[in-house]
Amino acid sequence: MQAFTEYSVINAALGGFHVVDMITQLFFFLILLILVRKFAWGPVMDMMQKREDYVAGEIEAAEKSREEAEKASNEAVEQLKQTKQEAQKIVEDAKNAGVRQEQDIIAAARAEADRIKHAAQADIQNEKEKALQALQDKVASLSVLIASKVIEKEISTQDQEKLINDYIKEVGEEL
Amino acid sequence: MFERGVSKVDHGAPIIENLFGISWLSVNLSNILMMFITSVIVFVLCVLGARRLQMKPTGAQNAMEWVLDFVKGIINDTMDWKTGKLFLPLGLTLFTYILVGNMLGVMTNGVVGHDLWWKSPTADPGITLTLSAMVIVLTHFYGIKLRGGKEYVKDYFRPMWPLFPIKIVEEFSNTLTLGLRLFGNLYAGEVLLALLVGLTTSSWLGFLGGAIPFLAWQGFSIFIGGIQAFIFTMLTMVYMSHKVSEEH
């Protein structure tokens, strides 16, 4: 009896096991679990997940844009280099063209000058021949005139010829 | 109808025995009250903390995320996050409920008449054992659900079959130690606080002698309350990982 009393006192001191308490605790805890998950932790977790995704996305986007910028800058450098080369080539070409044109012009001028010179020479020759011809014609008529004059004076044919030739010679030398 | 049990030195508890005339059905109304209050406080705090959630957290949201990360860390320590995230709400609710319950009893103990009404709900063995039994049942449930019945049964014979009886005993001892550890710490804390309150209010000399130890012990009890909430959650996840993880 004494032992039983002591036992029950300890039991009571600890509060004992109350079935209703235990069932209520289980019920309350499960209800609380469902409620806080739905109204508190669920949204917080969603928000944290969303932030995580956002940050990951931002990092990815930043990396991508950095890569793109690098690519664009490389392209620009490449293009600049190409443009420089092209410009240099154009200048060189222009220089070459200028030199060639200069030579062409000089050659053409020289050829033209030659042509003109030759033409002038040919003209001169021509005129000279024409003059000679005219002179000869004139000399012939003159000689006929002279001959008639000489005949009048009865000059031998030998003298006459000599006279003509001398005359012509004289004229030729004068020319 | 009220039979007063002797609790907390010389205070009774509002216990109703033989509820509805059923001999084994009894209820401690103080427990019911404190469970309700604790649940409401946890719920209100959590919902207030989860208001106006933003991408850039401010104020209460920071605190909520800190708690969440803390419990997440506990889970990550014991199992991989892929299965672990399933137990995050359970861990969070256990941690916050036990922490708030512990703090309620440390800060104040309320006596109405001769009955102790206001105390920690976790300073009752029935309640802590209910929580621990629930946790152990959940570990078995998820062990079967996530790994299949065959693997679950095989686990009792690993690493070798003679360990089978020990494995069975382990399940019960886990339940007992998990629940009674929490109860013991909280109950001892409250008993000592009640004793010191008695000493402090008894006389002037008692006040001088008891005030400083009372403050010290109250501070220490707050520390113990936090530690015990952490340990309960931690062990829950350890037991859970034993059942749901492939490797041991």
| DSSP string over B123-166 | GSHHHHHHHHHHHHHHHHHHHHHHH-HHHHHHGGG-S-GGGHHH
pLDDT reported for residue A166:
85
Amino acid at B91: G
Which residues are paired to B28 by β-bridges? B15
For A87-122, the pLDDT digits (tens) are: 999 999 999 999 999 999 999 999 999 999 999 999
CA distances from residue B233 to A67, B227, B245 in whole angstroms, order as listed:
46, 10, 17
User: Cβ(B55)–Cβ(A47) under 8 Å?
Assistant: yes
Q: Is B136 on the interface with A (CB under 8 A)?
A: no
Structure-token match 């427990």, residue found: B31
Chain A interface disruption, residue of B88, B127, B180, most A CBs within 10 A: B127
Q: How far apart are the first and last CA of chain A?
A: 184
Q: How far apart are CA A61 and CA B216, in angstroms?
A: 55
Side-chain half-sphere exposure of B164, counting CA atoms within 13 A: 6
**Residue among A14, A20, A26 minimizing CB distance to B27:** A20
Q: Is B86 on the interface with A (CB under 8 A)?
A: no
Q: Is B199 on the interface with A (CB under 8 A)?
A: no
Tens digits of pLDDT across chain A (175 residues): 344 444 434 444 455 677 788 888 888 899 998 998 888 888 888 888 888 899 999 999 999 999 999 999 999 999 999 999 999 999 999 999 999 999 999 999 999 999 999 999 999 999 999 998 888 888 888 888 877 777 766 666 787 788 788 888 887 776 6
User: Which tokens hold the place of A163?
Assistant: 């006279």
Share of chain B above pLDDT 70, in %: 87
Specify the range with the lowest mean pLDDT, choosing from B41-50, B97-106, B111-120: B111-120
Three-class secondary structure of residue A120 per DSSP: helix
Can you give the length of chain B in residues? 248
- Domain range for A100: 2-174
Residue of A nearest to B186 (CA): A14
Query: Does B129 sit within 8 Å of A22, measured CB to CB?
Result: yes
**Residue among A17, A33, A39 minimizing CB distance to B125:** A17
B9/B184: higher pLDDT? B184
Which residues are paired to B27 by β-bridges? B16
Closest by Cα among B179, B221, B232 to B197 = B221
Band of pLDDT at residue B8, cut at 50, 70 and 90: very low
Residue of A nearest to B133 (CA): A26
Pure H helices in chain B: 29-49, 60-78, 81-84, 88-107, 125-147, 149-154, 164-202, 204-244
User: Which tokens hold the place of B109?
Assistant: 């103990």
A21/B1: higher pLDDT? A21
**Residue among A24, A33, A44 minimizing CB distance to B90:** A33
Q: Is B180 on the interface with A (CB under 8 A)?
A: no
pLDDT reported for residue A140:
82
Q: How far apart are CA B189 and CA B126, in angstroms?
A: 17
Three-class secondary structure of residue B81 per DSSP: helix
Provide mean pLDDT across the span B146-174. Answer: 86
Closest by Cα among B40, B239, B39 to B122 = B39
CB neighbours of residue B18 within 10 Å? 12
pLDDT reported for residue B209:
78
- Min Cα–Cα distance to chain A from B28, Å: 7
Band of pLDDT at residue B7, cut at 50, 70 and 90: very low
State the DSSP H helix or E strand holding residue B122, giving kind and residue range, or none if neither: none
Query: Does A15 sit within 8 Å of B49, measured CB to CB?
Result: no
Chain B interface disruption, residue of A7, A25, A32, most B CBs within 10 A: A25
Work out whether strand B110-112 and strand B2-7 pair parallel, antiparallel, or are unpaired. Answer: unpaired
CA distances from residue A130 to A122, A125, A169, B3, B187 in whole angstroms, order as listed:
12, 8, 18, 170, 155
Query: Does A12 sit within 8 Å of B46, measured CB to CB?
Result: no
Side-chain half-sphere exposure of A143, counting CA atoms within 13 A: 18
Tally A–B CB contacts below 8 A.
140
pLDDT at B50 over 90: no
Q: Is B141 on the interface with A (CB under 8 A)?
A: no
Query: Does A21 sit within 8 Å of B27, measured CB to CB?
Result: yes
Band of pLDDT at residue B105, cut at 50, 70 and 90: confident
pLDDT reported for residue B135:
93
Work out whether strand B110-112 and strand B115-118 pair parallel, antiparallel, or are unpaired. Answer: antiparallel
Closest by Cα among B136, B129, B106, B241 to B179 = B129
User: Cβ(B109)–Cβ(B194) under 8 Å?
Assistant: yes
Max alpha carbon distance in chain A (Å)? Answer: 213
pLDDT at B167 over 80: yes
Which residues are paired to B118 by β-bridges? B110
Mean pLDDT of chain B: 82
Q: How far apart are CA B68 and CA B91, in angstroms?
A: 9
Band of pLDDT at residue B80, cut at 50, 70 and 90: confident
Domain count, chain A: 1
Pure H helices in chain A: 2-13, 19-36, 42-153, 157-174
pLDDT reported for residue B5:
39
Taking CB atoms and an 8 Å cutoff, what residues of chain A touch B124?
15, 21
User: Cβ(B71)–Cβ(B88) under 8 Å?
Assistant: yes
Three-class secondary structure of residue B119 per DSSP: coil
User: Which tokens hold the place of A129?
Assistant: 């021949």
